[in-house]
Amino acid sequence: MDSNKKLGLIGRNISYSFSKKFFEDKFQKLMLKGFSYDIFDLNEIDEVENLFSTPELLGFNVTIPYKEKIIGYLDELSDEAEKIGAVNCVAIQNGKRTGYNTDAFGFEKTLLLHKKAHHTSALILGNGGAAKAVKYILDKHGISSKTVARTSELNFENLDKETVRNHQLIIQTTPVGTFPNVEDCLGFPFEGLSNEHLIIDLIYNPNYTQFIINAAEQGAKTVNGYYMLEQQAEKAWEIWNFQKK
Which helix (H) or strand (E) element contains residue 61?
strand 59-62
| Relative orientation angle of helices 103-114 and 129-140, to the nearest 10 degrees | 50
Which helix (H) or strand (E) element contains residue 83?
helix 79-84
In this structure, which amino acid lies at residue 18?
F
> What residues are labeled active site?
67
